[in-house]
Amino acid sequence: MEYTTLGKTGMKVSVAGLGTGGFSRLGLKSGKTEDQSAQLIHEAVGLGINFIDTAPSYGTEGVVGKALKTIPRDSVVITTKAFVHRNDEWWTPERVVATLDNSLRAMGTDYVDVFNLHGVYAFEYRHALEKIAPALLEQKRKGKIRHIGITENPIEDHNNEMLELAVKDPVWEVFMVGFHMMHQIARKKVFPITRKNGVGTLLMFAVRSIFADPPRIAREMREMAAKGLVEKSLGETDDPLGFLVHPGGAANIIEAAYRFARHEPGVDVVLFGTGDAGHLRTNVASLLKPPLPEADRQKIAALFGHLTNGVGLDGHMAPAK
């Protein structure tokens, strides 16, 4: 495994991070028991992954807690989250702190390494900063939170509108950002500032589902070409990303997507979800390979760097109201 420092937090973290939500939720969605899913966390730790991301809404904090019973707590970095606004209701500081306390109990730990405000929209940001952040700072002083972060919701916020606000405020030590081969907005809007200010970055949506579905890639490309969003030639082939697979390049499109995200300047941890040990090992192997050839990276940037339509940003939860 390769490790890096998560911004100014100073924490040494694996470049591969285990996400426990998404479409798999450590296999719970496909019928695994909590004990089986906890074993998957042990598999990940055995591969050198020391970064585990969860949230109450994922339903996996109990699984993380089971795994932590036999994993030294100080050997892993654990992150969880709380909403600030959901179902037309603004969360109070008291409710967020209660959520934190529930998470600690569920995981059987006295602290979380990063506590993120979850999927915050631009219109929610002032509430997050002015009402919730002071309470989180108090919990940090009490030792229940080591570092405070905030995550965007790229499924609907395609242009990093919330993070453009958040980069101005030093209370946030960690950002969770959506970024992939056909959604590169953060390259200009987020990463230059996080790198300058020492904000740690957690990357989501590196693959999601689109890059695992070649027919969908072709279908999306045809639709975008018809709208003039991408070159016409990309809509005239069944393999529009095939140029990435060649000797000296990637073995397949999924590998290319992980390598592209992993080696983007400004990215610290690439998160991925899984419900299968073989899939886990394959993803880690992809993330540990070298950068894509420079010509391929430049071609990806040239073909898709301008896109702002949110292609490939698939949701697995109902949108906030």
Question: CA-to-CA distance for 107 and 291, rounded, in angstroms?
Answer: 36
* Helical pair 253-262 and 277-287, crossing angle rounded to 10 deg: 50
**Which residues contact residue 92 at a Cβ distance below 8 angstroms, ignoring those fewer than 6 apart?**
131
Question: CA-to-CA distance for 52 and 137, rounded, in angstroms?
Answer: 22
In degrees and rounded to multiples of 5, residue 32 shows phi and psi of: -65, 150
Asked if 21 contacts 274 with a C-beta cutoff of 8 angstroms, the reply is: no
Q: Does 121 qualify as catalytic in the annotation?
A: no
Asked if 153 contacts 117 with a C-beta cutoff of 8 angstroms, the reply is: no
- Catalytic residue chosen out of the listed positions 58, 111, 121, 125: 58
Residue positions annotated with a catalytic role: 58
